[in-house]
Amino acid sequence: MSLFANYHPQVQPPATRTHGKSPARVPGLGYILFPEPGSYQAFLDAPEKYDFDSINVASTSSENVRDRETEELRKEQEEDEERKWRAEQEEYEKRAKRRRELEAEEARKGEEGWVRSGGVLRDAEGNRDWARTQAIRDELKLRELEEQILDRWNKYEDNWSGLVSKLKNERVPASGTLLTFEDIPWPVKYPKESTIGIQDLTVKKVEEFLLESLTVRSVKTTKKDRVRSSLLRWHPDKLGSLFSQVKHEDTGRIEQGVRIVMECLQKLNE
C-alpha cells in the first residue's frame, strides 16, 4: 500500500475576488496585485501624478477672481450711491435757488410798491436810502415807457392783421366799405388829439417808430429783421389788393404815404 493511500487532500474553495484590479503575472515575480486606479493606495503609490502646485495655483486664481468680482461690485455700489447723492444735492440746490428767487421777487415787489406810493427805502441801519430809492423810481419810469412803446407796436401789428383779413374777405367791397387814408395802419406815432394826415408821415418819424420798440429790453428782434419784414409789407407790389379797395379821392395820399415809408426803409436797408 502506498504511503499516501489514505491521504485525501482537502479541496479549498476558490478565494473570494477582492474589489480591485485583477493580479497580473510578472515573469520571475509571480502575480502582483495593482491597486484600483484613483484609490488612496494608488495615490500613495504614484504621488508624482498629482501636481500639488497646480492645485494650489488654481485655488488661488479662483480666490483672486472672487476678490476682483467683490471689489467691482463694491465700486459699482459706491458709484450708485455717489450718483444718488449728487442728484439729491442738485435737486436740493435747485429748490433752494428757486426759494431765494421767490423771496427776492417778493422783496422787490414790496420795495417797488412802497416807492410807487411815495415812500423812501431805508438801509440796514435804518437810514433813508436815497440812492436805492431813486434807482427804483428810474426803473419804474423806464418800465412804464417800455410798456407804452410795446402797446403802440402791438396795436400797429394788430391793425395790420385786421386790414389783411378784411382785404381777403372783401375782394369786391361795397362802396361804403372802401378804404380811406385813415384806415391804413401807418408806421408812425399817431397824434393824440386829431386824426392822422399826410403831414404826420415823414422819413424821420417812420424810422423812429420802426426802431423804437427794438430798444425795449424784452424784445429780441434785430434791426435787420425789422427792416426786412417791413419791406415785404410795404412794397408796392404787395399792396395791389389794398389799392383796389381804396376810395378814389384817397388814392393819391395813400400812394404818397407808401412812398415815404419805402424811402425810409430803403435808407435803413443801406
Residue 264 burial (C-beta neighbours within 10 Å; 0-12, 13-18, 19+) = buried
**Which pLDDT score, from 0 to 100, does residue 251 have?**
94
R_g of the chain, CA atoms, integer Å: 53
Res. 1 pLDDT band, cuts 50 70 90? very low
Measure the CA–CA gap between 233 and 239, rounded to whole angstroms: 8
Cβ neighbours of 186 (radius 10 Å): 24
Q: Write out pLDDT tens, residues 92-119.
A: 999 999 999 999 999 999 999 999 999 9
Question: Residues in the chain, how many?
Answer: 270
Residue with cell 417778493: 106
Alpha-carbon span 245 to 170, nearest angstrom = 9
- Domain boundaries, given as residue ranges, for the chain: 49-96, 143-268
User: What is the reported pLDDT for 7?
Assistant: 47
How confident is the model over 114-149, as pLDDT tens digits? Answer: 999 999 999 999 999 999 999 999 999 999 999 999
Q: Per residue in 205-218, pLDDT tens?
A: 999 999 999 999 99
CA terminus-to-terminus distance, the chain: 160
Whether the CB-CB separation of 197 and 171 falls below 8 Å is answered with no
DSSP code per residue over 163-223: HHHHHHH-SS--GGG-B-GGGS--SSPPPSSS---GGG--HHHHHHHHHHGGGSTT----H
Check if the beta carbon of residue 24 is closer than 8 Å to that of residue 32: yes
Distance CA 264, CA 176 (A): 32
Residue 20 has pLDDT above 50, yes or no: no
Cell of 70: 467683490
Contact 36, 19 (CB under 8 A): yes
Instruction: Name the nearest CA neighbour of 32 among 46, 43, 20, 15.
Output: 20
